[in-house]
A and B are shown apart, each in its own frame.
Chain A
Amino acid sequence: MEVVDARVAIAPAISLLCAALVFAAADHTFWRRFFSLSAALAKLIIVMSMLPGALKGVVYTFDLVEFTPGVGLAFRADALGMFFAVVSSTLWLFTSIYAIGYMEREPNRRRFFGFFALCVSTTVGVAFAENLLTLFLFYETLTICTYPLVVHDETPEAMRAGRTYLAYTLTGGAFVLLGSIWTYQLAGTMTLSQPGILTMEAGRTTLTALFVCLIAGFGVKAAIMPLHGWLPTAMVAPTPVSALLHAVAVVKVGAFGVLRTIYNVFGVDLLQELGVCDWLAALAGITIIAASVIAIFQDNFKRRLAFSTISQLSYIVLGAALLSPLAATAAIVHIANQAFAKITMFFVAGSIQRTTGKTAIHEFAGIGYRMPYTMGAFTVAALSFIGIPLFAGFVTKWYLSLGALESDQWIYALVMLGSSLLNAAYWLPIIYTAFFKSPREDALVHEAHWTMLGPTLLCAAYVLLLGMTVSVPGMPFALAQAAVKFVFGM
């Protein structure tokens, strides 16, 4: 059932308004905080208000403008989009609170919070995009809005990272645009509301080329190897930005784009016939393992996190590429599972950096006793990535392994299990260093400010909740299932 409802357009617009207000508020700290937080809250409320309907199967749509017949900006909140929007607006609230604590004494806070809001605005825009054009528009805007955040410190290193970032993502964006136009030319529409709009009539070669084009475009942000180069470099950004980049906005938009390409542009049946997804799955499998192996050798905490992100994102890509319902479930729920666990880790990284100034893992000796709650949250996230049952990561691992068997590609079940061992190899040493190595500085128990600790603990709690039960408030597993059912025509 489709219902025209302005809320799908208001949700992205709120952050836009927030950005404008933050810029207008100039140097008034109070008003900047007030706008940031109330916009985050308002958006969460609006998205959540659509949730009961979405769970009943209602799809909210809203056409904003039409440039030429059939081509325009339109929003549509289907199950997949809703899922992504719920995750990103929940995390935006957490990140905003955290950023306020983290950026306390930084210069250029107006620019920071303004663009921060814009980023989230565009993320929800991507989630609710009804067609490829809208998707592209927000995808590209996101690239541009993130740039000032990446180079926020304005050190030569940051500027260099910013250039790399732009070079990669703008090229990717160009591919997406090319793919979108090509799709329009082939299918006569760009809508994402169907389980596939292309047909075999277009020819095998053309379709393969188009697939490569779209996946390469989205794959840059989803950091599929060898398109991942920008991600570790972009780690120079302030930590809340890294969190946003890695968990909520940029990379997830890429992964989301891959899902949309596979499920809504091509469709499962067509891809099965085309056979290109085997290649994508292989690429994702290699990325999962290779990135994890590289991560083991990183001593800088944020760089290790970055390579872990690259590995984890490919879980989503792999899940989608396996073209089986169970693997698809894994791909979709992993958007949430990875987001919450990874953002916890970035919050931890930021808190440690702010409180102790330490950024290298070997310096963390005994830090678990100095910041017990922070490192406790980290432990929860780490166990989730390793895939210990009852933690969120296990759900992904379980469904993805089953999905690999379901699509008769048991090798990927082994990849999943190997990856969880690799995860153990690079997360457990950190826990070991933090809790079991001297020097102990017990007397100096000193946690980060509550604005930073609070969101960290909340996210860690979500990691546990997501792993324990399917009925987490506001994080509906049912939506992921609805999306899978729609895509596979079940």
Chain B
Amino acid sequence: METEATRSILPMLAFALPIVAAMLTVPARRLSERARDVLLIGTATAVAAAALVLAAGVAGGTVYEMYILQLTPKIWMYMRVDAAGALFGATVAVLWLLALVYSLGYMRGEHRLGRYYSFFILCLAWTMGLAYAGNLLTFLIFYELFSVLTYPLVVHEETPEAMAAGTKYIIYILVGGTLVLLAIVLTFFSAGTQTLASGGILSADTDPMTLQAIFWCFLIGFGVKAAIVPLHGWVPDAHPAAPAPFSAVLSGVMVAAGSFGIIRMIFQVFGVSLLKSLDLAPYLTGFAAFTVLFAAALAVNQENLKRRLAYSTISQMGYVTLAISLLGMQSTIGALVHITNHAFMKGGLFLCAGLFIRRLGAYNVHQLDGAARRMPVTAACFTIASLAMIGTPPLSGFTSKWYLGLGMLETGNPWLLAVLLGGALMAAIYLLPIVYRMYFREPALTPEDLTLTEGREAPMTMLAPLVVATIITIGLGIGASLPGLPVALARMAAQAFFQ
């Protein structure tokens, strides 16, 4: 289904605007704090609008493209918005906007805000570019830039833990990025062409050893970012160390960027039929299934809330990888939808975690006793997101898992349903006790604690993004079958992949 593409400047604006905004952040702050806020929010809103317009257009059957820079005589920086990219792009842009609004409240009074906001908005640019990249080199450019230039956000707090987490992060990511580069070089050398195409761009008569090498390099490279066990080491350290709004996007879309890379690799570099003939996908299934269960089991014992959520992310992204590895139509829809759904669920949970830290000084699960009485809205949002994460109908988490389950049956792997349900069960085990504590335990805070923190609901700038994320989580579940929403786009993408 390689339809005739329409030229559009929107894919370029989606990443060019944040770059400009990043450069203007510090000068705008000299003007006034308000000017900076307007600049940041305005940019993020514009990007979100562009992403939604593109998604709507793609849902209507158009494919957008744009040639930007001639990188080498043969290769252009080329953006192409297909259904998968449009869905991911829209998810990224909307979540980013929420996290940014939240940041304005959360980061007030923090140090080095110029650095924080510049890199935060810059990171949006790279992620949007990643979503809309039309060939492998363009993909690599944005992948590497966003991997490396995220470092200042990971270590923002500059505590010894944050610095250690940052070092771990950069080592994992650089090694992963190098493997991705190797894979792309090998692909380019074997296939020559670079435009990502639905049938795959590698031909079946390529040397099998080379194909194996490409597959494993891609898998390990992207697997680092997608946090496939045993490549997940950086995730549980980076999340608690980073500021909450950044944790939200880190978990929500940046880990997913690795999964997105795997999707591009499997369906558009190899192509379904070639991969089936190579018989490599079952390995991926094995790793992914292990990831789902292993990370969920570890999450149960985490006392630090953000750390627990980080393990949950690893487990949930395992679902996505698992779904992709089945090479089935329904499961692919499930994978794409789950990326979007997870972004808002987990984003919401991290925003809650941030509020608990700021308003109650609560970093650990046991400090949340009775939190619902002080912060009813936050607690309600946390509960809804938790239920969605477990997969309770009609919330969004259910939709994606439904397709996943269908896919497992469709591809003849009913035993994997055990993994699906096991993961969901364990999500209940690591999330519901928190809900229980918030509602049914006596408040843990002493009056002395409350002199240090507000101890009540946060102001609107922080609460509103959280509520919106929660509404999206509910809406994506209830309205799953409406046209133009993730399921419809994911179906278009999957149809293209399996053409």
Contacts and interface: CB of A to CB of B under 8 A. Distances in A.
Contacts of A421: 174-175, 178
A469 B70 contact: yes
Interface SS, B side: helix
Given A389-B144, A390-B145, A428-B170, A470 B72 contact: yes
Contacts of B182: 401, 413-414, 417
Given A388-B144, A390-B145, A468 B69 contact: yes
A216 interface: no
Given A389-B145, A413-B185, A420-B178, A470 B170 contact: no
Report the interface size class on chain B: 20 to 34
A406 B190 CA distance: 10
Contacts of B152: 435-436
Interface string A241-282: 000000000000000000000000000000000000000000
Interface in B366-413: none
Interface in A446-468: 468
A395 B141 CA distance: 12
Contacts, number: 60
A405 B186 contact: yes
B189 A406 contact: yes
A483 B181 CA distance: 27
Interface string B175-203: 10010011001101100000000000000
Contacts of B166: 436
B185 A398 contact: yes
B140 interface: yes
B284 interface: no
Interface in B191-242: none
Contacts of A436: 152, 155, 158, 163, 166
A399 B137 CA distance: 13
Contact of A405 (B72, B73, B185): B185
B71 interface: yes
A402 B69 contact: no
B300 interface: no
Contacts of B141: 389-390
B185 A402 contact: yes
A397 B182 CA distance: 10
Contacts of B175: 421
Contacts of A477: 72-73
Interface in A404-462: 405-406, 413-414, 417, 420-421, 424, 428, 435-436
B101 to A, nearest CB: 27
Nearest to A388: B144
B400 to A, nearest CB: 32
A244 B186 CA distance: 37
A471 interface: yes
A397 B189 CA distance: 14
Contact of A469 (B69, B181, B186, B189): B69
A383 B186 contact: no
A481 interface: yes
Contact of A417 (B73, B148, B158, B178): B178
Contacts of B145: 388-390
A436 B115 CA distance: 11
The 6 A-B residue pairs with the shortest CB-CB distance in the complex, in nearest-first order: A389-B141, A405-B189, A401-B185, A417-B178, A424-B174, A469-B69
Interface of B: 69-73, 137, 140-141, 144-145, 148, 152, 155, 158, 163, 166, 170, 174-175, 178, 181-182, 185-186, 188-189
Interface of A: 383, 386-390, 395, 397-399, 401-402, 405-406, 413-414, 417, 420-421, 424, 428, 435-436, 468-471, 477, 481
29 contacts: A383-B148, A388-B144, A389-B141, A390-B141, A390-B145, A395-B72, A398-B72, A401-B182, A401-B185, A402-B188, A402-B189, A405-B185, A405-B186, A413-B182, A414-B182, A417-B182, A420-B178, A421-B175, A424-B174, A435-B152, A436-B155, A436-B158, A436-B166, A468-B69, A468-B71, A469-B69, A469-B70, A470-B71, A477-B73
